[in-house]
Amino acid sequence: MAAPPSGAMSPPSLRASPRLPDEIVEDIFVRVPPSDPALLLRGALACKRFARLFAGTGFRRRYREHHRAAAAAPMLGFLANLTFTGGVARFIPTPGAGGFCPARDERHGYRAHDARHGRVLLTKLLPQGTTDLPHGHDQESVLAIWDPTTDDLRHLPLLHRRREVLTWNAAVLCGAGGAAGDHIDCHSAPFRVVFLGIDAKNTTAHVFSSDSGEWSKVSRNNNLPGDDLDESQPGVVLAGNAAVHFMLAKGNRILKLDVATGKMCLLHLPRLCSRVVLMAMDDGRKIGFAEMLLPLSALRIWSVELGPDGVEKRWVITRTIELDKHLPDDALVPRSMPCVAAYADGAGVIFLKMIDGLYALDLKSGQATRIPMTSGFYGIIPYVSFYTPVLRAALATSGEGSSAGASTSSSQTQGAHHLRGFLELAM
């Protein structure tokens, strides 16, 4: 039998998987849930084309817009101010945060003070006896803004005042404007810091703008409040950054600042409370608070109805949660002193400090998760944010072939295989 002609039976050439348009790739990956950012990172590591696509501002904005209506930004973790350390703010990822890992786990010499829209407000603790600060500085610490996803740290200029501040509190706000809840991509947007200080004669509010790099005075009141600000508790922002609320130390009043007008007023709690945590209610339209009922081991949540003049009309109990239905028996030891530790605005998660440790209670699902803590802490600041900037790292770590042709073929093939794994998720 004659041999076939040369080349007649050559094996078919292997062809690369067809290249999908960028719009189709985005349509698939934009459906990755924001609570699991590790899936996006895995997709970016499949090939450099995906990495460049996901790192672009267009995809990041579309990703946030897609998930904004369906779900709020996830709680990726919290900052714990550790005791007996001389000042350490440690980032602790929460279970179910999708493997989020900040660029830096700890900030030595700092205390976490507030967090909002992906930024953390820190105070740098200066050694006692420091004398080289300008005269009239506002506090024995320096404010700074930190982005845990990029490790960017920006120190704010000192705020000079005529008199020493006796007590103060501060909050970080997004400076991009827009309606309440319309904070889609705040990491690169301008920001503001609201500082409220009480001295021997006045209560004064200042606002720092990242655009101008300067502090401006927005209000002064010599009649408020006859109390100290509770520096251990972060403020609560309502109505699209229009109003900031700070708890007062005696536990029976809230100091409200209208950022636009500079007007201050006091809200009176329904009764004296030893330890409460302020909360934003009804999508940021109302102020509320949570308290622990002892010895009932129950959690009670209040909200307030305000009149047209901004004065409270009445406080109402919106919910009572029996903790024995959500926490293990070891957490509910009789005669223990549990307390509400913090509340994650937007995520609907409340932190409870119990005798056997720290718990995160999801108010929507009722699921409580115990969070391992290896060190003691005196305050925690929840960190709630969409997370995609880490994908920029994939541009430098995506594996590719050495030649241009092999690189293109390998990239398309790896990307196509990875897309097939996400098709079920996208449907």
pLDDT the model gives residue 13:
55
Spell 363-386 as b/e; 16+ CB within 10 A means b: beeeebebbeeeeebebbbbbbbb
Rounded Cα gap, residues 336 and 339, in angstroms: 10
Rounded Cα gap, residues 345 and 116, in angstroms: 9
User: Among 144, 139, 140, which Cα is nearest to 130's?
Assistant: 140
pLDDT the model gives residue 427:
30
Phi, psi of 404 (to 5 degrees): -65, -45
pTM beyond cutoff 0.75: yes
Maximum CA extent, the chain: 111
pLDDT the model gives residue 16:
57
User: Among 119, 111, 174, 173, which Cα is nearest to 149's?
Assistant: 119
User: Among 391, 421, 378, which Cα is nearest to 90's?
Assistant: 378
Phi, psi of 342 (to 5 degrees): -170, 165
| In contact, 42 and 32? CB cutoff 8 Å | no
- Angle of the 48-55 helix axis to the 37-44 helix axis, nearest 10: 130
Is residue 349 helix, strand or coil?
Answer: strand
- What dihedral angle (degrees, nearest 10) is formed by the CA atoms of 153, 159, 164, 165? -60
pLDDT tens, position by position, 283-323? 778 899 999 987 778 999 999 987 777 677 889 999 999 99
pLDDT tens, position by position, 188-224? 678 999 999 998 889 999 999 999 999 998 888 888 7
| In contact, 108 and 87? CB cutoff 8 Å | yes
In sequence order, the 6+-apart residues with CB closer than 8 A to the CB of 135 are none
State the pLDDT confidence band at 39, using cuts at 50, 70 and 90: confident
How is residue 391 annotated by DSSP? G
- What dihedral angle (degrees, nearest 10) is formed by the CA atoms of 88, 369, 231, 220? 120
